[in-house]
Amino acid sequence: SAVISQKPSRDICQRGTSLTIQCQVDSQVTMMFWYRQQPGQSLTLIATANQGSEATYESGFVIDKFPISRPNLTFSTLTVSNMSPEDSSIYLCSVVRGSGRAGKDTQYFGPGTRLTVL
Amino acid sequence: DQQVKQNSPSLSVQEGRISILNCDYTNSMFDYFLWYKKYPAEGPTFLISISSIKDKNEDGRFTVFLNKSAKHLSLHIVPSQPGDSAVYFCAARGYNTDKLIFGTGTRLQVFP
């Protein structure tokens, strides 16, 4: 498995502000993923973050709203910019750990950051 | 378009009995399926997975069955324990990608 930590674990923010969420992994990984789980909804992939290149965003998510940094192989940040109440969600980072063969590894998740926007 | 569906939002089972959680998918290009368990205030925890070339995978009390022709998978928990009470997500992955598509989850409650 993988040991993944996230900071902060939760936060309450005002509309229009930004919050940066940190994700730390216990060992080097090539790809890190950022997901969102809105209240009562499933987990939705926001973007994939590779070290040394720009993050790849899924449909409906843009870099201006969710800028991502990946400065090294064990760390990543996700910023939720210009927040509105609709951004209230749990934000999760995840990594793949396994044999190294694409499509056959298991994805492990951090504990999540619960964000409430007033 | 919901490619992975869990049609039962909740399930209640008595301790010691079997819990069966179901999941349907629409994309025939999915080749790997996973089940995760999630407690409140925690991230999803990986439970068990199955490749599309298999129809069954077992790990202790957990067994996953895959019916490719029906595009259906199920997770069986036997015997169910109160500690199994959580939300269970199924997820699917396509060929040569690590991107997971999640279902909406089923809340399992195991009562004494």
Of B32, B89, B99, the CB nearest to A42: B89
Backbone angles phi, psi at A85, to 5 degrees: -55, -25
Which tokens belong to A101?
Answer: 């063969």
DSSP A2-37: --EEEE-SEEEE-TT--EEEEEEESS--SEEEEEEE
Strand partners, B59: B62
Contact between chains at B104 and A41 (C-beta distance less than 8 A): yes
Query: What residue in B sits closest to A34 (Cα-Cα)?
Result: B99
Place of tokens 């409906």: A60
Q: Indicate if the pLDDT at residue A114 is higher than 70.
A: yes
Backbone angles phi, psi at A5, to 5 degrees: -120, 150
Of A104, A106, A112, the CB nearest to B46: A106
pLDDT at A103: 44
Q: How far is CA A22 from CA A3, A66, B88, in A?
A: 14, 13, 26
Which residue, B2, B50, B8, B9, is CA-closest to B27?
B2
Query: What residue in A sits closest to B2 (Cα-Cα)?
Result: A42
Residues of chain B with pLDDT under 50: none
pLDDT at B95: 80
Q: Indicate if the pLDDT at residue A102 is higher than 50.
A: no
- pLDDT level of residue A100 (50, 70, 90 thresholds): very low
Which residue, A50, A53, A82, is CA-closest to A65?
A82
Contact between chains at A107 and B94 (C-beta distance less than 8 A): no
| pLDDT above 90 coverage of chain A, percent | 75
Q: Indicate if the pLDDT at residue A101 is higher than 50.
A: no
Contact between chains at B99 and A102 (C-beta distance less than 8 A): no
Give, as one character, the DSSP assignment of residue B84. G
Q: Indicate if the pLDDT at residue A98 is higher than 80.
A: no
pLDDT, tens only, A9-54? 999 999 999 999 999 999 998 889 999 999 888 999 999 998 878 8
CA B99 to chain centre: 17
